[in-house]
Structure 1
Amino acid sequence: MNDAPINTTAINATLDDTNSVNEAQAAETPEVISSIDANGLAEAIRAAGCAVTPIERDNQIQLHSAGHGVGFQVVWGNAVEAGVYADFTLSCALRVAGGEIPSAVFQGWHRSKRFARLAAHGELIVLEMDVTLFGGITRGHLESTLRLWVMMVGEFLLYLRSAAAEGEKAPGTAVAG
């Protein structure tokens, strides 16, 4: 058995170095979120470069914003607790003036675009993109997803203009924002 004294100074220095490394790694590791409330999402929308207006309706906060001059809203998904959600849908609806949009417009979008889908709801053509926080994502990922959404809204407008110019729409129909 060795009766030599233990060098506690060296052990403490090693522990201090380990703690410093762990603290530095923690500072570099981005926060992971698996749910969000209206205030947190409004902050992320602003960080993505859009203004946002919270409106309380039926004791629930609705978020309205715009990209490329066209309004969109947040449709809340699965609640993990009151006012906190694990997913949501970004939705941009435009009214079709003078008729329905032919299915070729929807098919063309779905063939050529990713990330967001088109749907028809009566006289509305709706661009939608689901955002899920299940399993956890970083705020940076959320902000990037919101910037992608704004880009998709711009692509949506260009696509509709192009479709109208190419005659894919029935004569006499127009899309009104």
Structure 2
Amino acid sequence: MPAAVAAQRPRVQRDETLRRELLRRRDVDEEFRSNLPARLTEEACARWKEVDEGNTEWLRQAIARVGWPGRRLCDDDGSEAAWLLAQHADRQPHLQVAWADLLAEAVTAGDAEPWHLAFLEDRIAIHGGTEGGLPWFGTQFRKSPGGQWEPFPIRDPEGVDQRRAELGLDTLAERTKKIADEND
């Protein structure tokens, strides 16, 4: 990048406090999800809702204050934590859609990973937040009626592995096997 262009870019001050809170919330989210009982109880569902809604509201406020928490502001791990919290904001799909737009800008600016956007866009698609309603990248999975893990139906399935490769993701078959191995 030419020095004149770089000089015109606004400098972003790292926000270590924001980064640490993103990481703390990510850790609570992952700890909770990794310890879900095989059969969800009413108590577990209530706690799940509490965790997700608390993170969603906190992230909404943070984004309103600073914009998308990308790499420049929160390092790679903080940016990934922000994406994870956005992924789990399913009860507020309008926020996910708005955040996908901000995340797309961050990806274009090199401030976030393209695969973060692919996962969020697929998540929005399966919840009906995009026209066509089918994901592009095969990042979202469900159990089939036969009990096997499978990706949600994909738009243009013939091209999915090419799209995934462009983002540095493994093939859909490899990911499907990994999901099955991790969750069975």
TM-score band by shorter chain is under 0.3
Structure with greater strand share of residues: 1
Point out the structure with max Rg over C-alpha.
1
Task: With a CA cutoff of 8 Å and minimum separation of 6, indicate the structure with the bigger relative contact order.
Answer: 1
Q: So what's the TM-score if we normalise by structure 2? A: 0.20
Structure with greater helix share of residues: 2
Q: So what's the TM-score if we normalise by structure 1? A: 0.20
